[in-house]
Amino acid sequence: MIRERPLVVVGVPGGRRLELFRAAAAASGWTEPVVLPWRDLASGPVEVPDDALVRVDSPGGDVATERSLRGWDRDPDPYRAEGTGDHHAGFRSALDRLAEAVAAAPGAHLLQDVDDLVVMCDKRRCHARLEAAGVPVPPALAGPVGDYRALREAMEERRWRRVFVKPAHGSSASGVIALATAPGGRVSAVTSAHLTRDGEGRPALFNSLRLCTYTREEDVAAVVDALAPDGLHVERWVPKAGFAGKTIDLRVVVTAGKARHVVVRSSDSPMTNLHLGNARGDLEALRAKVGPDRWDEAMAVAEAAAGCFATLHAGVDLMATPGWRSFAICEVNAFGDLIPGVLHEGRDTYAEQLHALDTGRHPVPAAPAARAS
């Protein structure tokens, strides 16, 4: 019986995500998950039990884990926006070790393809995969952007006045810049990265829950140049639909290929991330306004985006243009299932994942013992 197989979760002990998943497992009658700390995986080889089903959760929220992933000899400042390139390199290496450990354990099975996790956590590669599959995405710069000057030259070449500049390996809007330009050299950059300078004038970026707007080009250039070494992904700024006087987009959690949980993210600013003080919109009122046909079309786009990856679940950020005339995928989040209080048929996102395994909607290979019996 699948519920009796060891269930391993790679996560941060004591973290909210892990506790919610453990609660869902207990309520659903599964065995107590075995916790494989990201800190251990980031530091060296690990082992997993035979026949285990292995689920990878976010490594975020633990300074010691972050230090190991980045390979630094000091603790990183959790509020700094820089350093995501080193994080991603360590993330890739850690997942390679996990794949080796699972391959060495008879009957063990990963619920997410580790290579796909790496792609989802690289906005450039994720965008390219979606575009190649015919999933609608905003237009993006194809080549690398080394600094602010190169960014402005590329914008001028394409006659783009407004773009989103995103750290290629960032999350939770860390370092994201909504950049708008206008004739006469005017510029405006809205970002959660607050620019400071040390005693020698060197820039440093600190994430904040309060958005900041920069209108001096030297400040905008300093922010972009500080982020550029970690890698940048630049998309054309496509207008989003509005609802109830706010700009909105959707976080759609797709589980076993189906859009099961949706949150409306509404904002007065270009950034809709809920942790920035934005609010959840009225989902049922929005669905009623949009109508069933367009809503189903939107969910199909989210499912198509998640379908580009071999994974039990994915958090898809989907936007509609004004009037819901078209749709585009902003991001596909490997760990985008933390939306407490949102239920589908009485199940939260974690219980839904276990239900998909239990019912075979997300099939897994049988354990050797089960095949022998």
The pTM of the full predicted model, rounded to 2 decimals, is 0.96
What's residue 57's pLDDT? 98
Contacts for 270 with CB less than 8 Å, ≥ 6 apart: 164, 178, 190, 237, 247
Residue 341 to residue 127: CA distance in whole angstroms: 30
CB 215 within 8 A of CB 191: no
What's residue 369's pLDDT? 54
**Could you read off the pLDDT of 226-266 as tens digits, one per residue?**
999 999 999 999 999 999 999 999 999 999 999 999 999 99
- What integer is the mean pLDDT of 106-131? 98
What's residue 230's pLDDT? 97
**Could you read off the pLDDT of 189-235 as tens digits, one per residue?**
999 999 998 777 788 999 998 999 999 999 999 999 999 999 999 99
What is the phi-psi region of residue 198: left when phi exceeds 0, alpha when psi lies from -120 to 50, beta otherwise? beta
Start-to-end CA distance of the chain, whole Å, equals 11
Instruction: Select from 83, 68, 278, 270 the least CA-distant residue to 167.
Output: 83
Check residue 219 and report its DSSP letter: H
CA distances from 238 to 58, 121, 160, 244, 365 (A): 29, 22, 11, 19, 42
Check residue 344 and report its DSSP letter: B
**Residue-averaged pLDDT of the chain:** 95
Please give the full DSSP string across 75-131, using - where no structure is assigned: PPPTTBS--HHHHHHHHHHHHHHHHHHHHHSTT-EESB-HHHHHHHT-HHHHHHHHH
With b meaning 16 or more CB within 10 Å and e meaning fewer, what string describes 328-356? bbbbbbbbbbbbeebebeebbbbbbbbbb
